[in-house]
Every structure is written in structure tokens, then in C-alpha cells.
Amino acid sequence: MLTILFDGIAYGMLLFVLACGLAVTLGLMNFVNLAHGAFAMAGGYVTAVLMNRYGVPFLATLPLAFIVPAIVGLLLERTLYRPLYGRSHLDQVLFSIGLVFMAVAAVDYAMGSQQQLIQLPAWLQGRVDVLGIQVGLYRSFIIVICGVLVVALQLILSRTRFGSRLRAAVDDPRVARGLGINVSMIFATTFAVGSGLAGLGGALGAEILGLDPTFPLKFMIYFLIVVTVGGTSSITGPFLASLILGIADVAGKYYVPSLGAFVIYTLMIVVLILRPQGLFARAR
Amino acid sequence: MAAALETRGLMKRFGGLVATDNVTFRLEQGARHALIGPNGAGKTTLINLLTGVLKPTSGQILLQGEDITGLRPERRVQRGLARTFQINQLFPAMTPLETIGLAVSERLGGGRDWWRVTGSRREIVDEIVEIAQRFRLADVLDERTSNLAYGKQRLLEIAVAFACRPRVLLLDEPAAGVPEAERHELLATVAALPRDVSVLLIEHDMDLVFSFADRISVLVNGALFTEGSVEEVSADPRVRAVYLGESVDE
Amino acid sequence: MHADPTAETATPSSTADAVRRRLVRKGRWSVAEIAFWLVAAATLVFLPERHLILNEIAIIGLFALSLDLILGYAGIVSLGHAAFFGFGAYAAGILAKHGLADPLLGLAVASLATALLGFATSFLVLRGTDLTKLMVTLGVALLLGEIANQASWLTGGADGLQGISMGPVLGLFEFDIFGTTAYAYSLAVTFVLFVIARRIVVSPFGLSLRSIRDNPLRARAVGIPVNRRLVAVYTLAAAYAGVAGALLAQTTQFVSLDVLAFHRSADIMLVLVIGGAGYLYGGLLGAIGFKILQDILSAWTPQYWQFWIGLILVVLVLAGRERLTDRVKALWPRSRPSPDGKAQALPVTPAREV
């Protein structure tokens, strides 16, 4: 029971790291980016390739799993995404679905359609018994890393100059521009960081979520749930939504495997009907 | 005789903020009544309450003596309460012909008609023509709305509302943003609105208010500050202080 | 710009006639349209070896037409339109498997059932932003996919629904292996439904849908019961998609989970985008374009054709998809003079809808 809760929390935190970039894209640029999962996949593949082909140790691959998708994200934001900010959501959806299809086929072409396996270092394998609860070492590792990231993000948002500018831009881009804030630069930076975090999440999650070319499609709905249920006005909303989603998904699959993803989809629809602005959105 | 439009103790609170404060007000049959007030006085909230976009916290709204407080916006329109918008709310991809045709056929119950081609009914066509001429749109009926000159768009804005055959028409700053050259045409059309339509004019422009209205209500901080004839209100020193003084400064 | 009162008032009846002509004109069929359907009918005779793929095109075209009704005319963005397609397919397949072999009867029942589903779920897409609509439609499709997967006693689960055997159409035409009956049947059904849809979009009801798409706030202010109209068109579109799905099940005599998959919903958006939304022919032309593309691409790179599909989507959007399809749309009779030839984009969704 508590083990499931624990696994669920690990899963939820992973989802948060994967999806928080999307929350920013949506909240800041009002851009429906269905291709977010492609950046996560990129991070996963960076780690898999470095480890399996070049024997780089797992931990050493993680920075690259962040940096590579971040750079790709930055380039795409500057070239392809930016012209579409003012366009209709339909255009954005079509565009990002197109990107997903391209990413899926390209990775399939380059890497093959099989699952990528990652050999975790020995010290992250296995479980230990803590106060009678079976705790997976790797999951503890994920919780620690993601926990640090969440705290860091929260601090950056609330304490730094960049954070306050970002919040101003989310609240009202026009006013922010009027205050002399370089909104375009903030867009680019946050897009890159969001993509990088997704990549890091993809690398960390390869063990738990699996990694194959269809990753962006398989998990698209999860990212979207985190964002729509959590709302985009803070990072606490998506964080809580991630935890709930993670725990519900793990518990659902454990206790009622025959219902599969049923529980989650139903929950999502119900939440969106009752609270179209998200479960934790501020009242406007 | 019942008022064309009447509110009784209308209140609207947003959290702790009172946006509409106990407004009791009558729009007489055939009236030309202006509602003025400084920015933030709650004019927009009041319109939204009257048209049903917002639900009042308490109080009543009566149209021709009937309580419409609980009716949805589209039902109020069907009962004869139409409005224009301060910022044009048109259908950019449609033509004036289609826009007016839409409003007319909707009112004549054609909106549920999914089988007949729009315009196959004689009475609809006649009415479109009449409205197009009244609002001087006959020569641009086939233009795309987004390509129309601003003054024409403004006329269309009123024409659509008029096509709903309202008994009460709420005009929200009808001349806002209209360039001087097109202004005369617009004001003449507004002045020529038939007397069986009671008009509530929400306006900033004092010239327009004085030339059009026969009665003025002043809204300050969500509450009715004073009401009277044009002469009374324009002579009222308190009104000058809270409102006219401000508008001179602007 | 100044109006000449004498010119206007001198002959009111002639003005009225002109106005009526302009309004009614949109109901008339243009030469291009008639030619389109004549060519379609001619392929029944002249392209016998292509009937299997033409059948698919007709079905996809109908499916895209159904999406056009809600997206192009009412402005509802759906990422889960396959829900109705798949539901109709399973409904028809299950009916046939349990003895209801008459195709038309099966079609009618399947479309009614799908209409009910559409009606029930339409209330979910009335509220919220584009994003919530996307999510809810996607969620409904995923849910149905999950149900179809789990209820394998009914649907055959991952193995697909097998053992469908159809009776002859109208009791006269047996389905053949060349797909000729299938194609004729699908084409006829698509045509009939197209004619109805065409009638609907030029009616006052159709006009009110376009007004809702353009500006729901004003539509309400004109007295249009916006929600009721949206429910009506969503239900209708669902029934259309259900018929398309049912046609697929009946003519291929097989239904797999694939009919409810996400890529179905995405593909059908692409189909509509290729052809252009908001003028009904977009779905049909898009279906032809899409199938030809798919044929070429999958012959060229069998495994990776999705890459090129994705690339086409990206390029289409970046290049401004409306500009590309406006030329084709010009063949469609509508009062759209636009002498300046400017690109007439759909109104952009307000940047911040809260």
C-alpha cells in the first residue's frame, strides 16, 4: 500500500518534470504544444545512446539529456514556433502534431522501433526496507532529483529577477512589454529550459515509462492532463496535478488493472467539466 | 403604463467589491435616455446585468413590466432587448447582407430552419432591404465585414441590433472611434431611430449626449448619483464636479 | 462612400430582388460542383481496378465532411473525432455479426446510435477554451478506445471484430472482391449526406453556425441560442462520422481498435486541412489528396511515411493553409467578392480567452 503510494509519488514527480515546460509554454505563450513529448523523448535517447554506444555512465549523461533538448527547443522556438504564437489554436495543434509525427518517424528511422533499455548503475538498483516499507532505490533517486528541481524552480520563480519578469509576462504580456521586459527573450529562455527539463525527465523516466519512438504520442495525454487539470497560473497547480495523476495511475493499474487508463481519462473529463480552468486555477 | 425597461434594487458584488449598488431606474416608453458616468463607474457591469451576461447578486430587471432577471441573454433578445457593443462585435468573415439576414431570420424563427435556403422567404428579404437602407449599408451589402470602413462597421453594429426589432435598444458608445468624416452619417442614423424603440445611450461624449438625450442618469461608483432632464443634470454642480470636470481634464 | 438616396429608394423592389438573388445564389450548384460529382460517378465505370481505394476515399471524405461541419462551420476544435467514427464502425460491425446483415438498416441504426453518443458528449464541448475542448474530445476518444479494448467479448479486443458478413445492398447488390459494390454504395451514401449537408450550411441554421464560429458573443446578442445550435451540429456531425465508420465496417467486413486510435483523429484533421475547412468540398478533396499522398509515400518509404505527413502538416501551417485553399474555394458559389484577393484567414482565436 505505502509502496504504491511511494511509487506513485515518484511517478508523479517525474511527470511534473516532464510536463512543467508545457505548463509554461501554454501559460506564457498560450501555445498548445502537442510536441512537448518529443523533447522528452530526445532526452531519453541522448541518455540511451551515450550509455549503450559509448559507455558513458548514467549520471554523466543527465546534463546532456538536459542540454541537447534545450538547444533543440531553443532553435525550434526561434525559427518555427515563434511565427505561430498569434495564430489560432487549430494551427498550433496541426503544427505540433506534424512535429510529433516527424519526430516519431525520424527516431524510428534512426534508432529502430524497439524499446531502449538502460542499464542503471548498481547502486541505484534494488529495494531497501525503510520502516517496513519496500522502497526502490531508483525511485528514491528520482524523488530526490525531482524534489530538488521543484524547489529550485519555485525559488527561481519567486526569488529571482528573471522569475518576477516571467510571472509578469504570464500575467499580461502586453503590460510586461510596456514595462520594458523583453518578453520574446523570456519566451525563448523558458521554452529552452522547459524542453531541457522534459529531456531530463525523459532520461530519468526511460527506466520507468519505457522509451520507444511512440513515446511522444503515448504520453501526450498525460502531459496535457497535468497542465489542464493543474492550470497554468503557478507551478504548484501542475505539481499537485502530477502527484495526483501519478498516484492515481499507479494505484489504478495495481488495484483495478482491468480498468486500465479508464479511471484517469474519466477523472480528467470530470475535472475539466467542473473546472474548465483547471483544478487549482486562481479564480479570475 | 409599464416602463420599457426597469430595474429594482439591482446589486452586483464581485467578492468584496460592489460594482452595481442598489440601482433602481426606469427607462420610459420611447425614451431617449443617456447613462453617463466617469470611468470605472460600473456602466459596463450594468449593461452586462441588463443583457444577462452577468447574474445580479440581488434585485430585479423588468422588460415591458415582465420580470426577465432569470432569463438567458438570447431569451432577452427574443423578448425585445438588444444591444450594441462599445468595441465592434461583428462577424468579420460574413458580409453585411449575411449579418443582417442572420439577425432577421433568427427573429422570424428561421434559425431552426435548416432546410430552406437563407433568403427564400419574402418577408426576410424585404426586411433586410429596409434595414440596409435605413443604416446606409445598401451599397456595401456584399463586402466582407472586415473590409468595411470603420464608420460602416459602426453602422452595421447598430443595424444588427436593430434587426432584432428591439423595443429597448442599448447603445454602448455608438460613435466611439468613428473618424470625423464618417461621424455625421452615424449620428444622423442614430437620431432617426423610430420613436417606438426606447433607447438607453451609454456615452462618454457629452456633445452626443446633449444632442440626443432628453433625460440623463449619472452613475458614480456603481450607484445612481442623480437623474433628470438634460438641463437639470448639466446645471447640477455636483455632476460637474464628479463627471464633467473630469471629462474636461481628459 | 456617400449613399445616394434616390438610387436606393427609387426602386426598392429591384433592390429586394437583387438581395434575394444574392442570398439564394449560394444554394445553387455551380458547374465545378456538378462536374466534380459527375467525375466521381464516372470512376465507377472507368477505374474498376481502383475501386478499393476509391471506396476508402469516399469514406474518409465523408468522415472529413463531418469534421468540417463542427470545425469549419461551428469552430469546435476536436482532437477526438475518431470516437464517433469508431463507434459507428463497431456498432455496424456488431450488428452485422449478430445477424442484422442488411447494410442500409445497419447504417441507420449505427448512425442513430452515434448521434446519441454525439448528443450526450456535445454538452462536454460547450464550455471552456479550445484547449479544454481538445482535451475533452481526446479524452472521450481514448475512453472509447479503452472500452473497446477491454470489452473483448463484444468487440474482439485487440484481435479486431471478425466474422462480419453483410447481405446485399437493397437486397440486390452483393459485395464483391473488387470493391465495386462497396464503392458504389459508399459513394452513394456520401453523396446523399453531402447534399443534405450542403443544404444545411446555406440555410439560416447554417448561417447561425458560421456566426457562432466568427463571434459567439455577438451571436448570443442577436438572440441565437448558441449552446442549442452547437449541440445540434455536434450531434449531426457525430451521426455523419458514425455513418462513415459504419461504411468502413460494412465494406471491409472487419473492425479493429485502429478505428478509435488517436492517429485517426489527427489524420482526419490533416485531410480537412489539405482540402480546406469551411466549404464542405474540403473534406472530399482532402480525402483524395491524402490517399494519393499516402499511396505515393508509403510506396516510397513504407515504414516512415508518417514523417512526410508530419512535414506536410508543418509546412502547410507555416505557409498559411488558408491562403493555399482559397483558390479552390473560389469555385464554390458564395457571396465573396474580395476583389483585393487578400488572404481571408479564419478569425484568430482571441489570444487570451479566459
Tell me which residues of chain C, numbers 165 to 204, contact chain B at a CB-CB cutoff of 8 Å.
Answer: 199-200, 202-204
Judge contact between C200 and B111, C-beta under 8 A: no
pLDDT average, residue stretch C55-60: 94
What does the alpha-carbon distance between residue C279 and residue C269 come to, in Å, rounded to a whole number?
Answer: 15
Question: How many Cβ atoms sit within 10 Å of the Cβ of residue A30?
Answer: 22
**Do A70 and A201 touch, CB atoms closer than 8 A?**
no
Residue B240 has pLDDT above 50, yes or no: yes
Q: Is A79 on the interface with C (CB under 8 A)?
A: no
The C-alpha atoms of residue C109 and residue C112 are separated, in whole angstroms, by: 5
Q: Which residues contact B5 (CB under 8 A, 6 or more apart)?
A: B26, B27, B50, B61, B62, B63, B64, B81, B168, B198, B200
User: What backbone phi and psi angles, to 5 degrees, belong to A136?
Assistant: -75, 135
B210 touches chain C (CB under 8 A): no
Do B73 and C221 contact (CB within 8 A), yes or no?
yes
As given in the structure block, the three cell numbers for residue B69 are 432577471
Q: Is residue A79 helix, strand or coil? A: helix
Length in residues, chain C: 354
What CATH number does residue B146 fall under? 3.40.50.300
Q: What is the DSSP string of C305-329?
A: HHHHHHHHHHHHHHH-HHHHHHHHH
Q: Is the pLDDT of residue C328 over 70?
A: no
Note whether C300 contacts A: Cβ–Cβ < 8 A: no
C119 touching A, CB under 8 A? no
- B35 CB-contact burial (10 Å; exposed 0-12 / middle 13-18 / buried 19+): buried
pLDDT band of C348, cuts 50, 70, 90: very low
Residue span of the structural domain in which B43 resides = 5-249
Write the CA distances from C265 to C10, C90, C302, integer angstroms: 55, 16, 21
- Looking at chain C, the number of H-run helices and the number of E-run strands are 16, 0
From chain A, pick out residues whose CB is under 8 angstroms from the CB of C146.
Answer: 260-262, 265
Closest-CA residue of B relative to C201 is: B114
Q: Which residues, including other chains, have CB under 8 Å from residue B114's CB and lie 6 or more apart?
A: C199, C200, C203, C204, C205, C206
Amino acid residing at B62: L
Compute CA distances B89 → A103, A183, C348, whole Å: 41, 29, 14
Disruptive mutation site among B85, B91, B135 for chain C (greatest number of C CBs within 10 Å): B91
CA atoms within 13 A on the CB side of A246: 27
* Among the listed residues C9, C24, C22, C74, the one whose alpha carbon sits nearest the alpha carbon of residue C202: C24
Q: Does A114 touch chain C (CB under 8 A)?
A: no
For chain A, how many residues are written? 284
* CA C314 – CA C36 distance, rounded (Å): 29
C-alpha dihedral (C6, C9, C10, C11), degrees to nearest 10: 140
* pLDDT > 90 in chain A, percent: 15
C-alpha cell at B104: 432577421
Q: Euclidean distance between the first and final Cα of chain A, in Å?
A: 39
Q: State which residue of chain C sits closest to A278, comparing Cα positions.
A: C132
Residue C190 pLDDT exceeds 80:
yes
- Residue C89 to residue B129: CA distance in whole angstroms: 48
* Whether the predicted pLDDT of B247 surpasses 60: no
CB contact under 8 A, A109 and C307: yes
Lowest-confidence region among B59-73, B172-186, C165-179, C284-298? C165-179
Tell me: pLDDT of C236 over 50.
yes
pLDDT in tens, B192-223: 899 899 999 998 778 788 888 889 998 888 88
The label of the residue with cell 479486443 reads C157
What percentage of chain B exceeds 90 in pLDDT? 25
Asked whether residue C284 carries a pLDDT value surpassing 90, the answer given is: yes
Residue-wise pLDDT tens digits, A146-197: 889 888 888 888 888 888 888 787 777 777 777 777 878 888 888 899 899 9
Instruction: Give B-chain residues touching C225 at CB under 8 angstroms.
Output: 72, 74, 111
Look-up of cell digits 465495386: C180
C350 close to B (CB below 8 A) = no
ipTM of this complex prediction, to 2 decimal places: 0.85
Name the residue among B77, B107, B125 with its Cβ closest to that of C20. B125
Q: Which residues 6+ apart lie within 8 Å of C40 measured at CB?
A: C187, C191
Residues within 8 A of B (CB atoms), C 15-54 only: 15-16, 19-20, 22-24, 26-27
**Residue-level pLDDT at C343:** 34
pLDDT at C13: 62
DSSP state of C276: -
Residues B172-187, mean pLDDT to the nearest whole number: 85
Q: What is the mean predicted confidence (pLDDT) over A112-117?
A: 82
Q: How far apart are CA C57 and CA A95, in angstroms?
A: 24
Which residue, among C69, C222, C228, would best test binding to B if mutated, counting the most B CBs under 10 Å from its CB? C222
- CA dist., res. A222 & res. A242, Å (int): 9
Chains in contact with C, where contact means 3 or more Cβ–Cβ distances below 8 Å, are: A, B
Residues B179 and B162: their CA atoms lie apart, in Å, by 22
Contact B93/B86 with Cβ under 8 angstroms?
no
Q: Measured between beta carbons, which residues in chain A are less than 8 angstroms from residue C278? A: none
Helix axes C262-275, C51-68, angle to 10 degrees: 90
Average pLDDT over residues C326-354: 41
Query: Tens of pLDDT along A88-98?
Result: 888 888 899 99
Interface of C with B in 320-339 (CB under 8 A): 335-338
Interface residue C129 vs chain A (CB under 8 A) = yes
For residue C223, the chain B residues in CB contact (below 8 A) are 74, 77-78, 82, 103, 106-107, 164
| Nearest CB to A88; choose among C270, C316, C348 | C348
Q: How far apart are the first and last CA of chain C?
A: 38
Mean pLDDT of C326-343: 46
E strand intervals along chain B: 5-14, 17-27, 32-36, 58-63, 66-67, 81-83, 168-172, 198-202, 215-220, 223-229
Q: What value does the CA radius of gyration of chain B take, rounded to a whole number of Å?
A: 18
Q: In angstroms, rounded to a whole number, what is the distance separating the alpha carbons of residues A6 and C246?
A: 46
Backbone angles phi, psi at C92, to 5 degrees: -65, -40
pLDDT for position C327:
58
Judged by a CB distance cut-off of 8 A, whether residue A141 touches chain C is no
Is some CB atom of chain C closer than 8 A to the CB atom of B138? yes
pLDDT reading at A274 higher than 50 = yes
Residue A111 has pLDDT above 80, yes or no: yes
| A80 contacts C346? CB cut-off 8 A | no
DSSP string over B74-111: HHHHHHTEEE--SS----TTS-HHHHHHHHHHHHTTGG
Between CA B137 and CA B167, with CA B213 as vertex, the angle to 5 degrees is: 60
Confidence category of residue C8, pLDDT binned at 50, 70, 90: very low
pLDDT band per the 50, 70, 90 thresholds, residue C86: very high
DSSP classification of residue A283: P
C267: pLDDT strictly greater than 60: yes
Pairs of residues, one from chain A and one from chain C, whose beta carbons lie less than 8 Å apart = 140
The winner for highest mean pLDDT among A33-37, A68-72, C130-134 is A68-72
Question: Do the Cβ atoms of C222 and B83 come within 8 Å?
Answer: no
- In eight-state DSSP terms, residue C346 is P
Query: Could you tell me what percentage of chain A is helix, strand and coil, using 3-state DSSP and rounding each to the nearest 5?
Result: 75, 5, 20
Q: How far is C22 from chain B (nearest CA, A)?
A: 9
Contact status of C229 with chain B (Cβ, < 8 Å): yes
Per CB-CB distance under 8 Å, the chain A contacts of C79 are: 93
pLDDT for the residue C330: 59
- Find residues 132-151 of chain C whose CB sits inside 8 Å of chain B: none
Res C249 pLDDT > 60: yes
For chain C, the C-alpha Rg in angstroms (whole number) is 21
A93 close to C (CB below 8 A): yes
Q: How many domains does chain B have?
A: 1
What are the extents of the domains in chain C?
Answer: 44-261
CA A126 vs. chain centroid, Å, equals: 26
Strand partners, B168: B81, B198
Closest CA to C206 of C339, C73, C12: C73
Closest-CA distance, C278 to chain A, in angstroms, reads 13
C214: left (phi over 0), alpha (psi -120 to 50) or beta: alpha
pLDDT score recorded for residue B138: 85
Instruction: Record the cell numbers describing residue A157, joined without a space.
Output: 520563480
Q: Is C77 on the interface with A (CB under 8 A)?
A: yes
Query: For all residues of chain C together, what is the average pLDDT?
Result: 82
Tell me the nearest-neighbour CA distance from C48 into chain B, angstroms: 36
Pick C210's closest partner by Cβ from B82, B94, B144: B94
Contacts of B117 in chain C (CB under 8 A): 23-24, 26-27, 199, 202-203
CB contact under 8 Å between C23 and B144, yes or no, is no
Q: Which three cell numbers stand for residue A26?
A: 501554454
| A57 interface with C at CB cutoff 8 Å | no
Report the residue of chain B nearest C217, measured CA to CA: B89
- Which of the four pLDDT bands, split at 50, 70 and 90, describes residue C351? very low
Q: How far is CA C45 from CA B156, C32, C42, C129, in A?
A: 52, 21, 6, 48
What does pLDDT average to over chain B? 86
Q: Is C227 on the interface with A (CB under 8 A)?
A: no
**pLDDT range class, residue C57, cuts 50, 70, 90:** very high
Q: Which residues of A touch C149 (CB under 8 A)?
A: 260
Per-residue pLDDT band for C165 (boundaries 50, 70, 90) equals confident
Closest partner residue to C20 (CB to CB) among B77, B119, B160 is B119
Q: In this structure, what C-alpha cell is assigned to residue A192? A: 529552452
Best interface-test mutation with B: which of C211, C342, C349 has the largest number of B CBs within 10 A? C211
Instruction: Evaluate whether C289 touches C274 at the Cβ level (below 8 Å).
Output: yes
Distance from CA of B103 to the nearest CA of C (A): 6
Q: How far apart are CA C192 and CA C198, in angstroms?
A: 10
Question: Min CA distance, C34 vs chain B (Å)?
Answer: 19
pLDDT tens profile A197-221: 999 999 988 888 888 888 888 888 8
C204-220 average pLDDT score: 89
CA distance A50 to chain C (A): 25
Give whichever of B78-87, C129-138, C232-241 has the largest mean pLDDT: C232-241
Q: How far lies B210's CA from each of A94, B31, B169, B231, B238, in Å? A: 53, 14, 18, 9, 18
Question: Cell 434585485 maps to which residue?
Answer: B59
Burial of C27 (C-beta count, 10 Å sphere; 0-12/13-18/19+): middle
Chain A residues close to C312, C-beta within 8 Å: 98
Q: Percent of chain A, pLDDT > 70?
A: 96
Contacts of C347 in chain A (CB under 8 A): 88
- Residue B59's alpha-carbon distances to A96, B12, B28, B67, B70, in angstroms, are 49, 9, 19, 11, 11
Buried-exposed string C308-336: b where 16+ CB fall within 10 A, e elsewhere = bbbebbbebbbeebbeebbeebeebbbbb
Whether B18 has its CB under 8 Å from any CB of chain C: the answer is: no
- Where is pLDDT greater, at C238 or B115? C238
Q: How far is it between the farthest Cα atoms of chain C?
A: 77
